[in-house]
Amino acid sequence: MSLANCLKVKDFFLDIALRMSLNSFSSQGNRTTMFIDTPEGSLDITYEKKAGEMFYRHIANGHNIIMTANVNSSEFLRELARKCSNDLMSMVHMTDWCQLSDVQEEGKDLFENALANIEKELEGVSDND
């Protein structure tokens, strides 16, 4: 990854943090909903965890986030699931209702394993327990 791409991804998350702050400030204590598509696969593992914490704080402050995210072994979704649990987070598996490519169909077990790990975090049962 080039320096320019790295900075672009970090800028994206700084932009989201700014939007969350403005969203919270302007909501005057009311619940709001943000729609976000995340490029979490472009972050290294340390930034993924921090991004998960950032999203959790916004949710914990009473706001909703509807987000699309890539299914991978990302620490981002696992951290968000770990923090939110089933009380504050739910997932809709787009792989259940979209047409998978031949490559995706061939590696479907990778999706299933990644989703199972995220579901474990939502239930409070991680691989670290």
Quote the pLDDT of residue 4.
Answer: 59
Name the token pair of 83.
Answer: 């923090």
> What pTM did the predictor assign?
0.76
Quote the pLDDT of residue 60.
Answer: 92
CB-CB contact of 80 with 55 (8 Å) = yes
Kindly provide the residue ranges of all beta strands, DSSP E only, lying in the chain, ordered along the sequence: 33-37, 64-68
The domain spans of the chain are 3-122
Strand partners, 67: 36
Select from 18, 25, 24, 14 the least CA-distant residue to 51.
Answer: 14
- For 63-114, the pLDDT digits (tens) are 999 988 877 767 888 889 999 999 999 988 887 888 888 998 898 888 888 8
Whether residue 48 has pLDDT greater than 90? no
